[in-house]
Amino acid sequence: MNDPKSIEKLKAKINHYEEMIIKLKDLLGSSDGNISENDQKKIDLIESYMDKIKKKLKIYSNETENAVPDRVSEHPKNKKRKTGVFIKGKKKQKEELLEFLNKNSQLEYVIDRTFLVTQLPKGKTVEELDTFDQAMWNATNNTKQAIGYYLVENDVEIDGDSYDSGEIDLHDLLNMPSPILSKGLIIHFTVERLESPNYEKIIRDNSKDGELHRKILFANVHNKAVKEEMIFYKEQFPNVNIQMPKKDLILDYDSKSFFEDYMLIDLKRTFGDLEIIYTKKLKKTGKNTYESPKNGNGELIRIDYKIIKK
């Protein structure tokens, strides 16, 4: 309730009560200016109401004046919000995600119940925002469906995010060496979900037909997501030759390193002269055999990037 309109309403109430008290005193006062005990009680009651409103006004005014962007807030204009991005997870996880978004975006982010709400900075238009902010603005304001960010942490079965379940590994997302990579991943999984009609219904269909539908749909929306990612990287690295990857993830066999019970290997997505590197930990399954990263196995250890110098 700390928006300007609510504060103005409280101020109007205080002015109304002040005028009422003045009129009552004039009306109830005797010729010698004294007011009876019963009438004074009526005035005291009105003044007590006014004091309560003044306290509320002070609290809300301070909240607005000292508000920090990463607050978890009720947004009065969005009480009936049914489309956009909703967030499921622990309170701490939501706060961490909000903190990251507000530190690395021109938009201001709050959570209205479960929905992510974005606000433009003063004097800015949507057209002036970069690819990341435009993607987030469209996801929270210009979509006809609701998509979920299901926050988890340190889930070895999830490489950053999972299209099939809607889950996002917050540890993977927020522990990258650059916020550019985190924002690239957010663009990627947000576009994939928004481009999938009835996404929330699709991920809950566990029938064989449902699984097949997801695979076919994913192949299409994944390419769209990679394209948006590429556009974002072009903005962030203006002096680097950035293009659409000719292939998706490529195994870098030269990156293999072996340990007692596992091996590490890199998978690369190459955007021209920009390489996004995904390092995976694969468990040993036999004397000389390991999990296959091609089947989505293995634990994602880190995501990094490298500019190829020619």
| Domain spans in the chain, listed from the N-terminal domain onward | 4-65, 76-236, 250-307
24 pLDDT band, cuts 50/70/90, is low
Identify whether the C-beta of residue 230 lies closer than 8 Å to the C-beta of residue 243: yes
The model carries a pTM of 0.73
Which of 246, 149, 151, 152 is CA-nearest to residue 189? 149
| Residue 17 scores a pLDDT above 90 | no
What are the phi and psi torsion angles at 179 (to 5°)? Answer: -65, -20
Q: What is the mean pLDDT of residues 8-15?
A: 68
Per-residue pLDDT tens digits for 101-113: 999 999 999 998 8
Q: Copy the structure tokens of residue 19.
A: 């005028």
Identify whether the C-beta of residue 96 lies closer than 8 Å to the C-beta of residue 104: no
51 pLDDT band, cuts 50/70/90, is low
| Residue 221 scores a pLDDT above 90 | yes
User: Distance (Å, rounded) from C-alpha 301 to C-alpha 310?
Assistant: 28
Which of 213, 209, 193, 274 is CA-nearest to residue 241? 274
Average pLDDT score, the chain: 83
The H helix count followed by the E strand count for the chain is 8, 9
DSSP letter at 160 equals: S
> Count of CB atoms within 10 A of residue 16's CB?
12
Q: Sign of dihedral through CA atoms 78, 83, 85, 88? A: positive
293 pLDDT band, cuts 50/70/90, is confident
